[in-house]
Amino acid sequence: MNRLHRGELYMKKFWKKPWISCLLALFLFAAGCSGQASARPQEPERETASDQADDPAKGWNSTPRVLVPEAPGTVLMGNSSIEIDVSNISKGYLMARYVGNGAKVKFFIETPDQVRYTYDLPASQSYAALPLTAGNGTYTLDVREHVEGDLYSNLYKDTIEVAIENEFSPFLYPNQYTWFTEDSQAVSKASGLTRDVKDGLEAVGAVYDFVISNVSYDEEKARTVESGYLPDVDETLESGKGICFDYAALMTAMLRSQGIPTKLEIGYSGEVYHAWISTWLEEKGWVENIIEFDGKNWSLIDPTLAAGNKPSSVKKYIGDGSNYTVMYSR
């Protein structure tokens, strides 16, 4: 907590007080370096097209391009308590569900670069989509079953060799952190916002401007949010309120539904745990170091800090992006 307090003091001279609370809230539910989350029920699995080939002469195609994670059962791992479907790891995700007798399991995924992601999976008949965001290589799957209190027992451990067919796939599919379907209101809103834009650059701008202008910080939620919290993008859209995780998840869902690869990133903003997003555009590549677009240059797209703060103050803090340290990409 001392580290968090120092971060709060550091940020105070740049940000309005609500954003400090937002960062504190994310620290509470993100569980430090574990990137912890709980499972989200999955919709019936079918895949839709995600063709982002747009003719500049005709303008941007705002038709939703929602990909749907599948668990076809072609390649299965696990045991009688944990079922892991790795049929589509080449698309950048696996599907998992816990069907044992305990309350939950912790599902650890260690990436080829030795970063360890943690997911909470409660007992459920529904699959959770877990992303594989570190590219090709060996991933270690380590599942621990809850016993009592903070005690967990070893349930299952194995490795998988992953070769991603399309490097952008992990950042186009919905997953446990950012869940959306064709029927999501966030998807419909994104389609409407981008109907009259001419390219991906303007599509990102339209969605970005909407989120920072129409979602306000929820102080009560920040005070009461619990560990394992997952955003509900439609709830955030409907209520017009949220904490930093909600901002980033909503914008991620909206852009992915438009076929724009988007990373929901978790790490440190200065000394405080935080969430933000980065996007990939045909015109620019990965956009990671700016808060606004001036017609030529982009910077780190962090919808939480942009909302309610003067652009000059935001840019003063962000600078060249050195105040941001990415720990996890979802």
pTM of the model as a whole: 0.78
What is the strand order of the sheet 82-85 is part of?
76-78, 82-85, 93-98, 128-131
Q: How far from 218 is each of 1, 9, 22, 34, 60, CA to CA, in Å? A: 22, 20, 8, 25, 33
Per domain, the residue ranges of the chain are 2-31+175-329, 76-170
Instruction: Specify burial of residue 208 (Cβ count, 10 A radius: 0-12, 13-18, 19+).
Output: buried
* DSSP line for 164-179: -SSTTGGGTS--SSS-
What pLDDT score was predicted for residue 307? Answer: 58
Distance CA 83, CA 100 (A): 10
pLDDT in tens, 252-303: 999 999 999 998 887 776 666 667 788 888 877 887 643 333 333 334 355 5
What pLDDT score was predicted for residue 281? Answer: 83
Distance CA 277, CA 248 (A): 6
Is residue 82 within 8 A of residue 99, CB to CB? The reply is yes
Q: Domain spanning 2-31+175-329 has what CATH number?
A: 3.10.620
What pLDDT score was predicted for residue 59? Answer: 85
Ranges under pLDDT 50 in the chain: 1-54, 289-300, 305, 314, 317-319
CATH of 76-170 among 1.10.3470.10, 3.40.50.920, 1.10.1740.10, 2.60.40.10: 2.60.40.10
What pLDDT score was predicted for residue 304? Answer: 54
What pLDDT score was predicted for residue 72? Answer: 98
